[in-house]
Every structure is written in structure tokens, then in C-alpha cells.
Chains A and B, each alone.
Chain A
Amino acid sequence: MEQQSVTSTIKGKRVITKKPELLAPAGNLEKLKVAVHYGADAVFIGGRDFGLRSNADNFSTEEMAEGVAFAAKYGSHIYVTTNIFAHNENMDGLGEYLQDLERVGVKGIIVADPLIIETCKQVAPKLEVHLSTQQSLSNWQAINFWKQEGLDRVVLAREVGLEEMLEMKRNVDIEIETFIHGAMCISYSGRCVLSNHMTARDSNRGGCCQSCRWDYFLYEETNTSSNQETALFDQEDAPFAMSPKDLNLIEAIPKLVEAGIDSLKVEGRMKSIHYVATVVSVYRKVIDAYCADPDHFEIDPEWLRELAKCANRPTAPAFFENTPGHEEQMFRTHSQKTTFDFAGVVLGYDEETKIVTLQQRNHFRPGDRIEFFGPEIENYMQVVGEIWDEDGKELDAARHPLQIVRFKVEKPVNPDNMMRKEVQS
């Protein structure tokens, strides 16, 4: 099959003409707005039902409508995850729900269960249907099956590498979406029921309690009547844990763009607005820089440092090049101390007095080193001086969540810019 070219040459300079979508997660309306404002081309969200993160805030129909309208101002789109594997008892209300999504202008749904795919085609035909990674789609013939079923896009299994993606693109003409950043199942998605067994919470209906990240101990057992057990670890060894490092494909973006992948997806509907803002703005810069001038592109080390500021765990490229070994997994360190904490959101800035008005999101005090960032400003670091409350009363610290505070910032910042503070680890 003829593959669509992603590039063309203008006045002797190669540019990328097929720019992939940058798809960001949002657990609530505030996060959605941040994702769009910081550069996401599309945002995926969950509704009250049929999605896989029952612990996330999730959106009411009214909130979805507001999200769609907000995104439209930026030319962005909203997709809704409806990717449970439904049980009989979950069928009620599905049709009405999908019609609601269509009515409020959601662009598409992300689905795993044919029940939901077929129902959507019947009752809400304007919605695009994207196959969820829960189907663990790993080969091009299976993709072809779903294309024939009328799906608009497929999200690949997390186990698919670059060479496989290229072969898929060569063989099937359908939009392909793949994960580029965030936490991942270490199992094939949809093929893990640890949570069901260990806590009676159904992982494939949004109840996953992440049993894979708990500690276990590996033994060898003889298959005799006495069943003798030998520990396969020493006293000082780490316990057995299945936890993978988080995915990070920032350095692979050029290859993904050249491969013609249609949508690059960031995981994390449960993550903070700081996380969403940081990750989206970094990938926005990488994609834009590469597409503008692919032949002179280099990774800016600043982008890597920026991504690390919101990392929860060490990161790795997972299956992108090869089946991951122990280096791409994590056993000893269960969490990496973040070097920065999200501390506030800018509400306004007075150019004359150089005073910022900020909504507090985490404790900070005079003397803390802080950094402002946003989609349209250069990162800017300074030390906090005097802090005042709304009435001008001096504070020894900004310690109340969502409190409005003011202090001096030498460089101009804009509403919706974010502030993080350095933490000593």
C-alpha cells in the first residue's frame, strides 16, 4: 500500500506537512482547560460511566459541553473514554449516554467492548470510534479487522515497537494513536485481573487498585508432597515488584512523526494540572520544533530537565526499540523524589508594581526558590520575597490551599501561568 508522505520540500527546506495530534489527559474541567491552553490538540476525558478510572473526578454532561466549547476556541477536540469491558448489568443507559456525548459535541469515543462500538454506530453515528489500548492491539491484520468494522482510529498495545508500527502503517490505512508518556500497565491491557482476585475490584471496569505495584517475594517450590520452598532472594535484595518505569518517548518523537503516527498520547487522567501543563508544553515544543525544521532538529536538554520536574518515577522508552529488560523496569525505587512541587496558578500581574496575584496550590514561604512557566513565556526562576494576602497583610507563609496571595515577581507573567517551587531532596 502506498504510504502517505509526511513531508514536503518548500524552497529547498524540508518541512513536516503531516503533524501528529498531541493528545492529553484531563481528569476534570480545570485540567482540560490547562491541557488545551498549554498546547494539546485534543484531550481525552472520562464521563460518569463506562470509563476506566472510577477514582478520577470525571465529567458531567454539562462539564463536557463546557470543555468542548473551551477546546473549540483553540481548535482542539474532546474524546471520551468509554473503554470498560461491560457486564450485562452495565448495558442500561448506554445509548442515552452516547447520544449525550454526540449532542454536546464530543468528537469521538475510545472503546474496547464491541457492545459499545456497535451501540455507538447505531445511536450516535456522528461520534468517531477509536479502539482502546484495552484491546491490546498488536498486529496489522487485527487493525484491518477493526478498520473493516468501521472504526476511525486504533490505539495500539503498549507492547508495540517502532518497527511494528511502521509495518502497520504500510499495511493498513487507518489513524494510529500510540502512547508517548506516562504510567503504564505492565500487563497486556485488559488481560490483568489481579485487582479482581486480590481486592474484589474489577480492573476492567475501572476498579484497578494497581496490585502490580505491590511487593511480592519470589520462591522456588519443589513439586513433591512436601512442597519445599527456597527463597530466590537474599536478605538485602529488593522484593519482587512488577512495577514498570513510566514511559517517556520524548527522544523518539522524530521517529514517530516520520512514521506518520496520527496521534501521540500522554497518559494520566489522575495527574495534577502541574503535570498536565508541564508534559503537554514540553511535547508541544518538541513536536513543533521538529515539524518546522526536521533536518536541523536537536533535543534541547532543557526539555528533558523540564519533564523531570514533574516525574513521579524514573522513565524509560519501554517497548519502543526492544522488549524491555530490567533497566526499563523498576524494582528498588518505588518513587523518585520530585525536585519541584506545584505551588500556584497566576491570576494576574501588575506591570507597574511588578506584583503577581496568585492562587496558592502548595505551601511556600519567603526565601523559597520558585519557577514560573507557561505556554507563551520562558521559564523564569527567582526567590520569593515578602508575601501578602488579599488585604495587603504580610504573611510568614502561603499555607492555605487556594488562598489568594501577592508578591513581587521581576519578570512579567500571565494569567494561567504556573508556579512551582524547588524542593530539597
Chain B
Amino acid sequence: MSAGHDHLLSVSDLTKTYRTRGGLFSKASDFHAVKNVGFHVGRNETLGLVGESGSGKSTIGRMVMGLTAPTAGQVTFDGEDVTSLPASRVKDVRRKMQMVFQDPYSALSPRMRVGQFVAEPMVVHGIGDSEADRREQVVGLFRRVGLNPDFMERYPHEFSGGQRQRICIARALALGPKFIVADEPITALDVSIQAQIVNLFQDLQQEMQMSYLFIAHDLSMVRYLCQRVAVMLRGRLVEIGPTAAIFGDPQHPYTQSLLSAVPIANPRLERARKRIAYQYSPETLGNQLEEVSSGHFVLK
């Protein structure tokens, strides 16, 4: 479905299988954390990846980043197959893709000054002519994510959750990436801070022509931020399409059920909301992705 286009990222037949060990009374078996998943992310585009815990969304994020080796399948980034890169190319490609995690508390090193933490990728990749030059760049990164550069010499414990996430984003930007995998980046933040971080992601996209894979379970935020949405269930991609099509005309019974469960911050609509139940079975799951309207695919 992505052949012939100039997509920044395309993923095809991505599969991750874990072999469970057999015990005295049980046979060894294969568990498909992710099975035959394919999608693409365009330039300057945000793809939302949703689904319940255990549906495989984080595993996909990690395989795209090369942090988990796929059992099968291909990840192509900027025209290059990153699943079979020669070691000499790995570092170059990594510069262009970065990750932001859910928990900004454990992502930061408690004994490293935050300025140093942001500069570290530049040191690893040998960017910047000198310490002073890198420092100059960190000042720019701090400003870009809305942090006061005077805070560079401080330690993580002096920052709030929202500020820590800004620090993590500054680090992710240090190498000038084209693509960021954001795995639940606002889930651990206070509600009044979530909007700040979402707006920051938007601004960065406009300023730097960035693409995102935005993994989240808050569907109202996904709807707001993403141009397209992919829905996962038990390791399978069950539906993918433009945000308006997914939210306005969901086709897979699981997507319908998922959307009907989202609470609405309006008492009258919320009291009237009808939930649609979904019972998982191999029959209701479907077999083959079919295109139901332009760019809108459903597992049938």
C-alpha cells in the first residue's frame, strides 16, 4: 500500500514472535506480539498508533527504532532498509530517528546535569567542534522546547514532570532528527501540562518538518494531533486510515467498540453515550486488510 510513494518510513510484514518455554505440562508455543503489520509515515506527518495494553504498539515503536529486533519484516527509513543495515551505517540512520518515552522521571539520569544530558547525543555522534560550541547548541535547544537555558546546570530532581519531558524532547532534537517515535509522551503528565507538550510537538513539526509516530491510548488527543491513525488489537493492525475516516466512519468492530468507550467531557453527551461491545474471536478479527475508501484499510 505504500509502494511507489516517497514515504519517510515504511514498515511491511513486521512480526515479533516470542517463544514461550514449555513446562512439565505445557508445550512450547509461539506468542505473536506483533504479526504482519504494515504502514507508512509520510514526511511532515503524524501517525497515531492506538490499542489497549498488550496490543503490540510499543513493540512496534521499539522495532522501528531498532531497539528490538523483528522476527520478520522490513523497516525502511528514508529509502534505506534499516533492519539489515551494515554496522557502519547504523549510527548515521539513528541520528535521524529519535524516541521520547512515557516516563520523564526514569528517562533522565539523576546524577547528570540536564544540560549535559541534552548534549550527550552530540558527544556520542561527534557533533560540535568544542564543548563551548555544543553548549551554544544546547542553549538553542532549551529555548526551542520552552525551557530557560539558565537551568542547564541543574539536576533532574529540580524539575517538574512537564519540564522533564521538555528536557527529554530537547535531547531527542539534539541530532536534528526527521522522525520521532513518541511512546505515550503525555500519559504521565498532569492534565494542565499535557496540552503544553502536545502544542510543543505541533510547533516542532511545523518548524522542523518533523514526522511522528505517536503511540497513545488517549484517543481524544490522538484525534487532535494525528493526520492518520492505526488501530492495533492483539498484535494485528485492524484498521488504518485518515483520522476523519477512523473517527467518523470506523469499520472494524473493535475500532467501533474502542471509540464508543471514550468518555466525553460533556455531561449530556456522556450520559447518552451508547457503548458497543466487542467479543474477540478469530472470525471477528479478520484476515486481510481491505481498502474501504481512499487510504482507509480494514482487516476483514
Asked if A and B are interacting partners, one says no
Chain B residues in the interface with A (C-beta under 8 A): none
